[in-house]
Amino acid sequence: MKPRDLAAWALFIGVETAIQVVFKIGGAALVDDKGLAPLVLSAVSSPWVMAGVVLYITGFFFWMTILKTSDVGRAFPMTAAVYVAMVGAGVWLFHEPLNLERLVAIGLIVAGVVMLAGEKSTA
């Protein structure tokens, strides 16, 4: 993997992780017990949710950069690295539990990503 590709992946994983963290924080404060209109109003007036939307658009551009030079069949499964980052963020920021099942699942994801990253691209 070229340094440019590695940087694009690191930025993509970082942005995608930040999106989910920001949406979790923003979503926790939404008004959701008074119907759809108040829910939408609280979402569009939340700086956390709006930051998530901006990050989502940013992530889209990183993803397009990655797809420009990668096979989609190889690149898309590698997005599973975001799941690993999110488990870490959940444990660190939100004090979510980390048990043996999650650790095994993370190990399987990491093994798959490593195998895909080492595969030769045809793009």
**pLDDT tens per residue, range 22-40:** 999 999 988 778 888 888 8
Helix (H) or strand (E) holding 26: helix 3-28
The Cα–Cα gap between 98 and 89 comes to 11
Query: For residue 121, is pLDDT > 70?
Result: no
Mean pLDDT computed over 98-120: 86
Task: Look at residue 39 in the predicted model and tell me its pLDDT.
Answer: 86
Reading the block at residue 55, the tokens are 């990050």
pTM above 0.85, yes or no: no
Task: Look at residue 70 in the predicted model and tell me its pLDDT.
Answer: 85
Task: Look at residue 81 in the predicted model and tell me its pLDDT.
Answer: 87
| Alpha helical stretches, state H, 29-120 | 36-44, 47-69, 72-78, 81-94, 100-118
What mean pLDDT value characterizes the chain?
89
Of 32, 22, 12, 6, nearest to 82 (Cα)? Answer: 12
